Structure 1
Amino acid sequence: MAGTLYIVGVGLGPGQITQEAINVLRSVGEVFIEEYTSMFETSLGDHIAKVVGRMVVKLNRRDLEEESGRVIINAIRERGSAALAVIGDPMLATTHSALVTQATQLGIRVRVINGISIVCAAVSQAGLSLYKLGPVATVTYERGGVLSKRAYEVLAGNISRGLHTPLLLDIKDEGGFMSIREAVDVLIRLEDEVKQGIVSDDLAAVFESRIGWSDQAVVVASLTNPPDLKPPSVILIPGLLNPVEEEYLRVVHGAGEELLRRHINHVKALMRTMQHSSG
């Protein structure tokens, strides 16, 4: 089967779409969007219609997952090409990966047009070193009576090596996004279960809200005393801070010197304990 599928990242906010993305969205046979894996500051469909000058077709979770993107595949058959525009950077959601795999198996050419991702943007806005970034995890809701420990386990592994931990926040089954307070409550609950002493008043966190939007906010505070910020949000928990990172958090984000001192001492103590127990 001939034809081309474009997975187009449009960034996190209205001003972040690239010229390459605009050119693709203007030239393909049909443009689709999905907004259930993330949030945009305005209506994504209205924004693309304004910037690109054409209407788009909005897809939901059922269209892409249960129906395996059939409507997109059909559009490629009929018009030779189609694009799925997504918020942030493509391929960070397994939904998009499954669509690309299916299209490739059908002989459809696939091109991924990158956009600004929340992970890179969060680290950059925080002023922390990308070279010290550990694995990413998502803080999830309890489902089926089970609360996943994955976020806590990833955090523990990163802290043991002095690495920074980006924590994404879950999407509710009925739509909408987990709040920062809900995420912290989950981490506290996991601490009560696992009891490794990681989540405490001494652990600092960079709380980030609506990155790339006109009302974005970045606040450094104790993990157990989070600010009240609007979703979509991300939590970045620093590992061992170097002097440049420490100064950036203090001067640019107004982090308290006492909190940063407690954080560094807490991380060092955890690293000694974890490395000793693993050895």
Structure 2
Amino acid sequence: MLTFIGLGLFDEKDISLKGLEAIARANRVYAEFYTSRLMGTTLEKMEGLYNKKITVLTREEVEQYPNWLEHAINEDVVFLTGGDTMVSTTHVDLRLRAMEMGITTKLVHGSSISSAVCGLTGLQNYRFGKAVTVPHPYTSSRGKTVISETPYDTVLQNLEHGLHTLVFLDIDKEKGYMTVNQALDLLLQVEAKRSTNILQDRIAVGIARAGSDFPAVAADHIQRLKNFDFGAPLHIMIIPADTHFVEAESLVKLAHAPKSILEVHNQ
């Protein structure tokens, strides 16, 4: 048996009772923290609360050489991830591999950032389009810095259909955790390259440390928001489309957005 358990958003206490019960029954407990991680805890705290040794896997051990799956043929094995399990394509692929090996799989869901951002901002979940990740720039073989333009294109496509965009921010072993400020700057660099002016005057929403007692939530025009100090990671961002009046009021009251966004609905 292989049980995938989503740990939730921030610390070791976000896990569900069903998740704790599955860990208690497990012979082996594995985890990966490269797609996401719980910033409010440590491996030692998790092992203390769960009362089990946790083996942290590398990206290669999950995606390329998951030899540890063989233990799940005859034992109860648990695989821990931040957020909700199966949100990452990597985890879906791992489940399919296990099933091909004849391993029974089970899911224990956890709280997800995809739904948490709606609660924190008041933006309505059914109005979100395709999500996207802003990656760190990389250096090409010619020594040129390359900025991905895919996130910008995704935001524009969603805006054309009146949909909000949830923007995940890159986590890189060497470059660290991308901030809202860095992501906004990268989007504006793409816009400048194309000589367009679509995003500069729009509202964006930044969120940091969702799931903690004191998350940072701020909304403002992009040119101003890129200078806001969101503090420690993890960060995530939303580029809203034109808002419903309840959404606009929520952004003002919950995210301190400029009250001018309400004027559109009062005309």
Do they superpose with TM above 0.5? yes
| Unaligned 5+ runs, structure 2 | 141-145
Q: Which amino acid aligns with 2:208?
A: S
Once residues 168 and 219 of structure 1 are traced to their aligned partners in structure 2, the CA distance between those partners, rounded to angstroms, is: 16
**Aligned in 2, Cα 1:95/1:204: closer, same or farther, shift over 3 Å?**
same
Specify the alignment match of 1:141 in structure 2. 136
Once residues 164 and 91 of structure 1 are traced to their aligned partners in structure 2, the CA distance between those partners, rounded to angstroms, is: 22
Report the CA distance between 1:97 and its aligned residue: 2.0
Report the CA distance between 1:177 and its aligned residue: 1.2
Report the CA distance between 1:100 and its aligned residue: 1.0
Q: Which amino acid aligns with 1:239?
A: A
Report the CA distance between 1:141 and its aligned residue: 1.9
Bigger mean CA offset, 202-211 vs 164-173: 164-173
- Cα shift readout 1:18-53 (whole Å, capped 9, x = no counterpart): 111111111122111111211213445333323322
Once residues 75 and 33 of structure 1 are traced to their aligned partners in structure 2, the CA distance between those partners, rounded to angstroms, is: 15
Contact 1:104 1:110 in 2 (8 A): yes
Specify the alignment match of 2:205 in structure 1. 206
Residue 45 of structure 2 is aligned to residue 83 of structure 1: no
Once residues 213 and 175 of structure 1 are traced to their aligned partners in structure 2, the CA distance between those partners, rounded to angstroms, is: 24
Contact 1:29 1:75 in 2 (8 A): no
Residue 136 of structure 2 is aligned to residue 150 of structure 1: no
Contact 2:40 2:212 in 1 (8 A): no
| Unaligned 5+ runs, structure 1 | 266-279
**Aligned in 2, Cα 1:166/1:7: closer, same or farther, shift over 3 Å?**
same
Residue 55 of structure 2 is aligned to residue 74 of structure 1: no
**Aligned in 2, Cα 1:88/1:155: closer, same or farther, shift over 3 Å?**
same
- Mapping of 1:4-23 within 5 angstroms? 4-14=1-11, 15-23=13-21
- Mapping of 1:164-183 within 5 angstroms? 164-174=164-174, 176-183=176-183
Report the CA distance between 1:144 and its aligned residue: 4.7
- Relative to the length of structure 1, the TM-score reads 0.85
Superposed CA RMSD: 2.0
Once residues 210 and 61 of structure 1 are traced to their aligned partners in structure 2, the CA distance between those partners, rounded to angstroms, is: 24
Once residues 205 and 179 of structure 2 are traced to their aligned partners in structure 1, the CA distance between those partners, rounded to angstroms, is: 14
Equivalent position SS for 1:224: helix
Report the CA distance between 1:76 and its aligned residue: 1.6
Once residues 173 and 234 of structure 1 are traced to their aligned partners in structure 2, the CA distance between those partners, rounded to angstroms, is: 18
Report the CA distance between 1:62 and its aligned residue: 2.3
Instruction: Name which of 36, 46, 49 aligns with 1:48.
Output: 46
Contact 1:5 1:111 in 2 (8 A): yes
Once residues 124 and 187 of structure 2 are traced to their aligned partners in structure 1, the CA distance between those partners, rounded to angstroms, is: 24
Report the CA distance between 1:232 and its aligned residue: 1.0
Report the CA distance between 1:142 and its aligned residue: 2.3
* Identity between Structure 1 and Structure 2 (%): 27
Once residues 46 and 175 of structure 1 are traced to their aligned partners in structure 2, the CA distance between those partners, rounded to angstroms, is: 25
Specify the alignment match of 2:99 in structure 1. 104
Equivalent position SS for 2:177: coil
Specify the alignment match of 2:26 in structure 1. 28
